[in-house]
Amino acid sequence: MDVRFQKMVDRWAGIPLCAALSIGHAIGRVVTGRMPAPPPRRILVILLSEMGSLVLAEPMFRRLCDRYPAAEIHMMLFKRNRQLLDLLGVVKPEHVITIRDDSLPNLLQDLWNAVRTMWSARFDAVVDCELFSRISAILSGLSGARTMVGFHRHTQEGLYRGSFLTSPVPYNPYRHLTHQLVTLADAIDSSSHPRGKDGSPRDTWQPPVFEPEPGELEREVAALHRDHPVTAGKQIVLMYPSGGLLPIRAWPLEHYATVARELLAEGLVVGVIGMPDDRPLAERLQQACGGHPNLLNLAGYTRSVRHLMTLFHRASLLITNDGGPGQFAAMTPLHTIVLFGPETPTLYRSWSPNAHAFFTPLPCAPCLTAYNHRSSPCDGDNQCLKRILPADVLAKAREMLHAAAPKSLGVGEGA
């Protein structure tokens, strides 16, 4: 569904529904009282929309398992993100609730089925990880769980999602998302005000690791060399020039072309990755590079997220806009350059030691936040990205390619 339509529904339907749930829960607490909750036996995590955020949420799942080893962990997410969840292996497949968001009828049907599933499962705690939508808050309020954890505005303006959470955690725009998600796990049995302030701070986390099956890399690399013979024996630089659902996050295509032309002139192979819908964008990049035979249109080439991961193992470098691919790459040894602008690496950088983030801190950047529903006030002239110079990116790319040089021959030495 169109993102603008989703935001409109979220605002005009979400706010009154959150208010109604707040009143209903307030009445219920007056009638039944509030007793201390025992340790949860069934925990539902709701993280619907962002596939890349699943990678950043992996430490939260580990924290839940450490704190509640006897509890069942369940997950609710959009169906299009299921592939990555299965790769992470943090939730048993039979404990996953998926929701289709490709059309309004499918969304409404699956939301109703999800509510019925929650009622029958009788969850003890629900952890709502969403920042930008009210649909997850409404699902929490309808879950029937005794403990409901999620982000709350407290004394801040904006981000109204009702007042029915039993363990509200203040959203903190100055802390990395991973830290904030771990705080949600800590808040389940926290008694501090606000919740989670008694958790221990931590500076860094280790990203999860994608483990290929025996022989999987060899098969997929052999297929890549067969499908695109120019890749054999050469270093491969992958580029993801699409902004996805948020085009304002895209580095200018002419900047990508400038970097690609230099790398092609040095004898490297450049592959443009993306969804099938991104093929026209990759074709424009090919045209900007004069149809060079070593610039490959790989948009739609990978069959799945897992297939993309094997391609990351073969490649030497990824240059990408802020989004899912940069987070997926953190699960592999791939060196990665991530271009931030409307959003900030302070909140969303990869934990990979092989990742480098470019960010131009203009007075208006970052402009996509939980407080404006990711609706940028920018007129489309994203100077925060345009001012990241191709020469600077190219210099960093050469540095990383030198560090990744053994991968030039393929799986044997580099994977």
Q: How confident is the model at residue 331 (pLDDT cuts 50, 70, 90)?
A: very high
Regarding predicted confidence, which is higher, 181 or 34? 181
Whether 70 contacts 64, CB under 8 Å: no
Beta strands in 142-235 (DSSP E): 147-152, 167-170
Euclidean distance between CA atoms 17 and 8, whole angstroms: 14
Whether 151 contacts 181, CB under 8 Å: no
C-alpha separations of 201 from 142, 183, 216, 345 in Å: 32, 9, 38, 19
DSSP 177: H
Q: How confident is the model at residue 33 (pLDDT cuts 50, 70, 90)?
A: low
Q: How confident is the model at residue 248 (pLDDT cuts 50, 70, 90)?
A: very high
Euclidean distance between CA atoms 382 and 251, whole angstroms: 9
| pLDDT score at 414 | 40
Euclidean distance between CA atoms 371 and 171, whole angstroms: 10
DSSP 111: H
Instruction: State the amino acid at position 303 in one-letter form.
Output: R
| pLDDT score at 32 | 66
pTM metric for this prediction: 0.89
Give the residue from 347, 368, 330, 60 showing the smallest Cα distance to 176: 347
How many residues belong to the chain? 415
Euclidean distance between CA atoms 396 and 338, whole angstroms: 11
The lowest-confidence range among 22-26, 110-114, 153-157 is: 153-157
Q: Please, is 314 exposed, middle or buried when counting C-beta atoms within 10 Å of its C-beta (0-12, 13-18, 19+)? A: buried
Beta bridge partners of 326: none
In angstroms, how far is CA 268 from the centroid of its own chain?
Answer: 29
Read off the pLDDT of residues 259-308 as tens digits, 9 standing for 90 and up: 999 999 999 999 999 999 999 999 999 999 999 999 999 999 999 999 99
| pLDDT score at 199 | 72
Which segments of the chain belong to CATH 3.40.50.2000? 3-189, 216-410
Q: Is the pLDDT of residue 15 over 70?
A: yes
CATH number assigned to the domain covering 216-410: 3.40.50.2000
Residues 6+ apart with CB under 8 A from 394: 258, 259, 262, 263
At the topology level, CATH places domain 3-189 in Rossmann fold (3.40.50)
| pLDDT score at 300 | 94
Mean pLDDT for all residues in the chain: 91
Give the residue from 247, 196, 245, 254 showing the smallest Cα distance to 388: 254
Structure tokens at 325: 């691919």
Which runs of consecutive H residues, i.e. helices, occur in 290-364?
305-314, 324-329, 345-348
**What are phi and psi for residue 21, nearest 5 degrees?**
-65, -35
Structure tokens at 44: 């539902």
